[in-house]
Structure 1
Amino acid sequence: MTDILCRDPNTVMRLQRLGSIHQSRLSFMRLLTRRLAREGWRFQQTAFEVNDKGEGHAVYTAHGPDRAYSLIAYAHDLPAEKRSDRVIADAWDATFTLFDGVPTAADIERLSHNIPVQEAGRVTGTELSVSRANRSVRLWEHVVSELAAGRQPDAAQIEAVGYLMRTTAVYGSGKLGAADREMIADRAEFRAPFQVEMLSVYLTRWFVLDLVQHMANLRAAAAGAEAAQLSPELARSMGIGNSTGLGMAPFLLNHPVLFNNWVAARENAIRAVRNLAKASADEVALFRELVDRSKLSIAAWHSEHPIQIEKLGDLRADVAKLDTYLAQHGLTGAQPWDVLYSWAEQALSLEGQEWIASLILEPYGALVDGFAEEMAADNTATFRIAGAMSIGDLRALLKDVYAWAIDIDWQAPENRARAWYVSEEKLEPRLGERFEEPIEEYEQPLAPGRDAAQLYQALAHWPDEAQVAEFLLRHPEHRHVLRRAQIVGRAPYAEIRDNTISDRVLPIDMLRCKLAFFGATQFDPRSDRWVRICMYGNAPLPTELTVENADFWVFPDQETVLEETGA
C-alpha cells in the first residue's frame, strides 16, 4: 500500500486554491456545536426587555460543565439612512457582547452605555467579545409582516437571502478592552481558534429569531390579531450573515504560525483519510448521502460577481462529473479515498478538488477530529532569529519556500502595482494603487514574496559559511523577512506562495480561506475586496441541540427542503 504524504505547500498555498476551500469537519463552527452537544451545555433566555420600537436588551446564557457565558444583546431603532455595513458606521440595528459568566443588572446598565457605541465605548476583562449587526431590511420586513398577518413567510425569499441580520464585525482578543486571548486560552471550550466569536454568533442567531417573532407579535396585537409562530424549519434555515472586507485579509499574513496550524490540521486529516486501505459500506453510504445533501447547498448558492459565477459553474459541472465517477467506479477498491482525490486533481476545477478534499473527511470523525487540538498557536513562543544559521542554509531555505518569488521580475509595475497600508481615520487595512496614490511611504510589510526576493538578492555575494547574525548586523532592514523565512522553515503551510501586491491579486481569496475555516457557506463576493457569507444556516438552535444533530447540520436535508418549500 502506498504511503500518501501531505500535499505540497507549493500546491496548497497558492491563492487560487486557498480561495476555493470549503468548510469541513475541522471548521470552527462545527467544532463548537459538537462540543456543546457532547458536553451537554444548557441554554436559557434570562432576559428579554424590548419595546414596541424594537429597543431594549436581552440576555442568553450558555451553561457549560465548568463555566457559564452570556450574550447580552442590545436592540436599537435605527433610521434607514444610518444603516451601513461599512466599518466606519457608528450605529447598528443590534449590538452585542459575550459576557464571562452571568451579568448582574449593574453589568447590563454599564454595558448599555458602551456596547451600543462599539469603538467609542470601552469594556473590561469580563467581556470576551464585542459585535454588531444590521438587518437584511427586505427580508426582515417580509418575515415580520407575514407572521403578523398570521402566515408563514415565503421560503423562496428566505432562501434567496439566508439571514435576517448580518454582522459587520465580531471583535475579541483584547479589542476595546475586552479580555485578552491569553486570559481564556487554557479553558477547554476555547482552546480551538475563534470559539468565543463562534459562540457569540451562535447565540446572536437565537436572539435575532426571538426579536423578529417579538416584533411580529407586537404588530399583530396592535391590529387586534394574533401572529403566526415562525415554523421551526424556516427558523432553522436562517443563519447569521456577515459582511467582511479588507480588514480581515492581512490576518493570514500577520499570523503565519496560526495559519500554518489551521492548514496543517486539514492537510494531515486529508492525508489520514487518503491512506485508509478501504472504506466500509457505512462510510461510503454516509459520504454519498452528504454528497447528495451538498448538491442542495451548491444548487442554492448564488452570486452576482463574475468570478464566483464562473467558479459556481465549474463546481456544478464537477458535481456531474463526480456522479459519473461514483457510478462507474464506486469506492470499493484499495485506498479508495486516495484514488478519488487523485482523480479529482486531474478531472475537476480547484473549487471541485477542495470540495472533495473536505467531503472525504466527513465519515471519519474519530480519525480526524483530533487534529483540531493542534489548530491553536497560543503557546508558540515568539520566534527568535537563529543567528547561528549559515548563509548557505538560509539561501537553500529561501530557494525552497520562495522560489516562486525569486523568479518574479519585481521591477515590472504589474508585479508591484498595489500597496497595503492602514487608513489614518479607522486604523483599518486598505489596498491602494502604488502608482496612482501617494501611499508607498505608508506601506505595511504584507508582501513577503517581494521582501524574500530582495533578501535573496542581498545574500548574493555572501559566502555560505557566514552566519545570519553577521549579515543582519550589516543589513538590519531584512530582519523581518529573515525571521519569517525561518518561521516558514518550521511551519511549511505558514506562507501564502503568491504575490500579494500584483495587479492581479484578489483579496477575496484570503477572505474566503479564513471564512471557510470558520465554517461559512454561500460565499458571495461583492467586489474583489469584500464578501458576504452565511454562518450557522440550518444549524439546530441551542434549545434543539443534541449529539445527533450537532455535526451534519451544515448540509441541507432533502426532507427539510421539501417542508420549507411546501413540496
Structure 2
Amino acid sequence: MESLEGQLRPSNSVMDPVDMGGARSTRHSFMRTMMRRAVKNGWIIQRTAFNIDDAGCGSAIYEIHAESLHFSFVAFSQKLSEEDRTDRVIAKGWDLTAALVEGPVDAEKLERLAAQVPLQENGRAETGSIIWTRANRSERFFNYVADRLAQGLAPEADKFGGSPYLIRSTAFYSNGKCGLADYEGIEDGHPLATPFRAHMLTAWLLRELSYDMVEHVAAARNPDAAKLEGPWRRYLGMGNATGLGMVPYAINHPEVINSWALAREVPLAAVTARTVEITDPSVGRIIDLMDQAITYLAEQDDIITAPFTSGPELSAQLSVLVEQLREWTETGIFAGYETTHIFRELHNGAGAQSPAARGMVATILTELSEDLDDVVESVLRCDESRRVTAGISCAELAADIDASYSWIGAFDFASPGSQKHFWFSSINNEEPRRALQGMDAGEAVQHPVDIARAVAALRAELAEAEPTMDVGEFLLTHPRHRATVGRVQNIGKLPYGEVRDNLLGAEFLPLNVQRFQLALYGMENFTPQSTDWLRVTLMAGAPRIADLANGTADDAWMFTRRPQEKNHHG
C-alpha cells in the first residue's frame, strides 16, 4: 500500500463533506466483502427450523457453517398493531427480533433466547451471543407481495418505487451491549473478524427470512401461490433509515473513518494509476458497467433525492462520459487529449461533472481491484488508543496543527453562523440531536463534536504560551485542551481522520457524512427525508442462500434493474 501513497487523493478532497455526499457502495463495501468470504471459503447455510404460522408469526432458525465454526441465526416474529409499530429507537416492540449466536440451538436454548431477544435493550444476552437485531414489516409492501403471490402473480415493480423491500431493519446491537460478545476476543483469521461482518451476515439472513415469510404467508392463503422467482428472486432488499447518530460516530471514531476512507481510496488509486491500451479488455468491462449504471439510474425518476443529484440527472452525466470513453477506444483521445491513463482521466472527467458522477465512476473503476481485496480488508481493523506526547514543545505542537489542521482556518468562530448548533443526546428519544445555541436546553451536556473549534482554541492559546514550554507543562494550566492535544498528535497524522467541516455551523449538512458511512455498509437508493436523516435500501438484487454454492454471489448487484416482466412467477 505504501507504493500508492503518492497516488491517493488529497485529504481536503476525500474528507470534504460535499465529496462524501457522492459516495456509493463498492466491491469493498461490507456486504460485498462478507459475501465473497462466504463463497470463497465454502460457507454452508441452511434453514433448519421454520415454525411460522399462517399470519407469519413464530420462530425460525438458520444454521451457518463458516469454515470450522458453527453459528445460528434465530428469529422471532410477531404481528404488532399499527399504532405500536415504529422504527424509532424508543420503540418497545417489533415485528421481528433476531440473534446471531455461536453454535447450534436446541429447544432449551431456543426457549431462553425467546425470553430475552424480543426484549432487545431490556433483555440480557447469554454467552456466545454476537448480534441482536430487530425489524418491522412494511405493511404496505409485505401485504401487497403476499396478496399478489397468493393470486399466482408476481408483484409489479412500479408499486415499490425506488425502495424494494419487505421489512425495515431498525438496529443491530453488538460488542458488549446487552451482554453481547466483546469483539476484542475475536482473533485475526476468524470468519467474523473483519469489522461489521457479523452485522452484514445477520442483515443478509434477516432479508432471507423476509422472503421465506412472505412466500409462506402467501401459500397459507393459496397452496398454489406463486413464489418470488425469475427477476423477483433477488430484487427485494431490506429497508433502513438513519438519523443524526451516525455523525457523532464518525467524529468520535476518526481512526475508523480513516480506515473506511482508505478502503475506498486505495483500490481507486491503484486502478487510476494504471496505463491502459485501447485494446485492454478491462476498458470494455468499464463501458459495460457504465451502461448498466446509466440504465439503472434512468429508471429512478420516482425517487426524491434532493439535495443529492437525481438518478436521471446522474444518468445523463454518465452518458457523456461513456461516449468519451468509447471515442478513446477508437482514437486514444479522451475529452480532446491523448492519454494512456484513461481511468485517471475518466475519474477526473467525472469529478468535473459532479460529486455524484465522481462517486459513481469511482465505484465502477473499483470493480477492477480484485487483487486488492485482502489489502483493503487489512486496513479495517484499527487501533483507537491515543497517547499524549507531553515532552514536545508548544512551538512543535503549534507547527503540527498548522501542518495537519490548516483547514480549520476556513471557519470564523467569531461569527454567529459558525456556532449556530450544538449536538446532544435526547433523554426522551435516546438519540443524538442538533439544537440551537442559546435557545435550546442541553448545552451543558453537548457532544464534543466541535473539532474545528476545539483545535482553533488550542492553537490560539499555544500562540500565547512560551514556545519552548513542554506540552505537559502547558496542560497543567490548560487541562481542557488535553483531549484536543491527544487528537492532534494521533489523528492529525492520519490522511483521512478528520471530516473537513464545522459541525456547529449553519451550513453543515449531516446527510453527506451519513451517506459516506452508509455506502461503506453497501446501502443504496439514498432518499433524504430532511437535512438530518434519509431512507436507504440494502441488498436489493443481492444473492440468496442458494447462490453461495453456484458462484453467482459476487456480481455487481448494485445496478439491478427493476423487473420488467408482467405477471411472471418463474
TM-score by length of 1: 0.93
Structure 1 equivalent of residue 74 of structure 2 = 72
Letter in 2 for 1:244: T
Superposition map of 1:340-351 within 5 A: 340-345=346-351, 347-351=352-356
Letter in 2 for 1:511: Q
Closer/same/farther in 2, CA of residues 296 and 312 from structure 1, 3 Å limit: closer
How far is 1:157 from its partner?
A: 1.9
Q: Is the 8 Å Cα contact of residues 38 and 547 (structure 1) preserved in structure 2? A: no
How far is 1:524 from its partner?
A: 0.9
Matched, 1:304 2:304: yes
Q: Is the 8 Å Cα contact of residues 155 and 567 (structure 2) preserved in structure 1? A: no
Structure 2 equivalent of residue 372 of structure 1 = 377
How far is 1:296 from its partner?
A: 3.2
Aligned residue for 1:168, secondary structure, equals strand
Q: d(CA) in 2 for partners of 1:444 and 1:474?
A: 23
Closer/same/farther in 2, CA of residues 16 and 462 from structure 1, 3 Å limit: same
Structure 2 equivalent of residue 535 of structure 1 = 538
Question: Which one is further off, 478-487 or 158-167?
Answer: 158-167
The alignment yields a C-alpha RMSD, in angstroms, of: 2.1
Q: d(CA) in 2 for partners of 1:406 and 1:47?
A: 60
Structure 2 equivalent of residue 430 of structure 1 = 433
Please identify runs of 4+ aligned residues in structure 1 that moved more than 6 A: none
Q: Is the 8 Å Cα contact of residues 267 and 366 (structure 2) preserved in structure 1? A: yes
Write the deviation string for residues 17-54 of structure 1: whole angstroms up to 9, x where unpaired.
11211111211111011110111111100110012232
Give 1:359's match in structure 2, choosing from 355, 364, 373.
364
Q: Is the 8 Å Cα contact of residues 240 and 536 (structure 2) preserved in structure 1? A: yes
Aligned residue for 1:190, secondary structure, equals coil
Q: Is the 8 Å Cα contact of residues 294 and 319 (structure 2) preserved in structure 1? A: no
How far is 1:185 from its partner?
A: 4.6
Write the deviation string for residues 63-90 of structure 1: whole angstroms up to 9, x where unpaired.
1111122111111111111111111111
Letter in 1 for 2:344: D
Closer/same/farther in 2, CA of residues 295 and 42 from structure 1, 3 Å limit: same
Q: d(CA) in 2 for partners of 1:82 and 1:296?
A: 40
Give 1:57's match in structure 2, choosing from 38, 56, 59.
59
Write the deviation string for residues 192-216 of structure 1: whole angstroms up to 9, x where unpaired.
2200100000111111100001111
Write the deviation string for residues 364-397 of structure 1: whole angstroms up to 9, x where unpaired.
31145522221121xx261111112222222122
Q: Is the 8 Å Cα contact of residues 361 and 368 (structure 1) preserved in structure 2? A: no
Superposition map of 1:512-551 within 5 A: 512-546=515-549, 548-551=551-554
How far is 1:9 from its partner?
A: 0.5
How far is 1:424 from its partner?
A: 2.1
Q: Is the 8 Å Cα contact of residues 305 and 527 (structure 1) preserved in structure 2? A: no
TM-score by length of 2: 0.93
Aligned residue for 1:113, secondary structure, equals helix
Superposition map of 1:445-464 within 5 A: 445-464=448-467
Write the deviation string for residues 273-317 of structure 1: whole angstroms up to 9, x where unpaired.
121122563211211111122223322445335313x45465233
How far is 1:488 from its partner?
A: 1.9
Q: Is the 8 Å Cα contact of residues 30 and 197 (structure 2) preserved in structure 1? A: yes
Matched, 1:282 2:281: yes
Superposition map of 1:130-529 within 5 A: 130-158=132-160, 160-220=162-222, 226-278=224-276, 281-301=280-300, 302-308=302-308, 310-312=309-311, 314-330=313-329, 333-345=339-351, 347-367=352-372, 369-377=374-382, 380=383, 382-529=385-532
Q: Is the 8 Å Cα contact of residues 162 and 238 (structure 1) preserved in structure 2? A: yes
Q: d(CA) in 2 for partners of 1:561 and 1:290?
A: 18
Q: d(CA) in 1 for partners of 2:543 and 2:384?
A: 38
Write the deviation string for residues 540-559 of structure 1: whole angstroms up to 9, x where unpaired.
1012224742222424356x
Q: d(CA) in 1 for partners of 2:456 and 2:286?
A: 44
Aligned-residue sequence identity (percent) comes to 32
Letter in 1 for 2:261: V
In structure 2, stretches of 5+ residues that fail to align are: 333-338
How far is 1:483 from its partner?
A: 0.9
Q: d(CA) in 2 for partners of 1:336 and 1:368?
A: 23
Letter in 2 for 1:464: P
Q: Is the 8 Å Cα contact of residues 540 and 553 (structure 1) preserved in structure 2? A: no
